[in-house]
Amino acid sequence: MPIVLGVALLVGIFGNFHIRMALFCAIFSVGIVDGIVVDRMKHFFKRPRPYMVLQGVREVELARLKPRLLALTKPLEIEYSHPSFERPVNGPSFPSAHAANNFAVATVFLLFFRRWGWLLFISATLVSYSRIYVGSHWPLDVFAASLIGISAALFLTTCVEVAWKRWGPRLFPRLSTAYPSLLTPSPRISNIP
């Protein structure tokens, strides 16, 4: 997480308006998807994670080190589940927040950067697979979450684009002249911060 926040901060500081708006839409989408949609669905469905109900599910975790980044230098901790009532519940399973958030970000960046944005779908797919691999989610959890993330990002980015086209010219005439659409980079970006 610190690396992701650091990259987002650098992009926000040094990026142009088009990149900043992509970052804004990605953060907005993740905030809505994770904070509202996925959270409410998890509490509604209360589906247990695979390792909570099935015997012998492989659980894979990073070593417990502080700072967490050091855990990447150690071997993975692998255990096999033994469901019991004494075991602490680690939150509901359906849908996967990791998958929803990653697919939301991938969708936003695909809309803003059509040539290279699709590459984030590779990362989103790998993250989604990892949630099944480590025993935290069922396949349906990540499949439904990917649809939620993609749909929410499409909807929210479209709303931001419509709002920009409607109110941008009145509130930010110079920027809206250079960027008539948020989803296409402006050829005249040299004068605009």
pLDDT, tens digit, 9 for 90 and up, residues 130-185: 888 888 888 999 999 999 999 999 999 999 999 989 998 888 888 888 888 888 87
Output the pTM of the full model: 0.82
List beta partners, residue 61: 77
pLDDT digits (tens, 9 = 90+) for 73-117: 778 777 777 776 555 556 788 899 999 999 999 999 999 988 888
What domains can be seen in the chain, in order of their start residue? Answer: 2-178 (1.20.144)
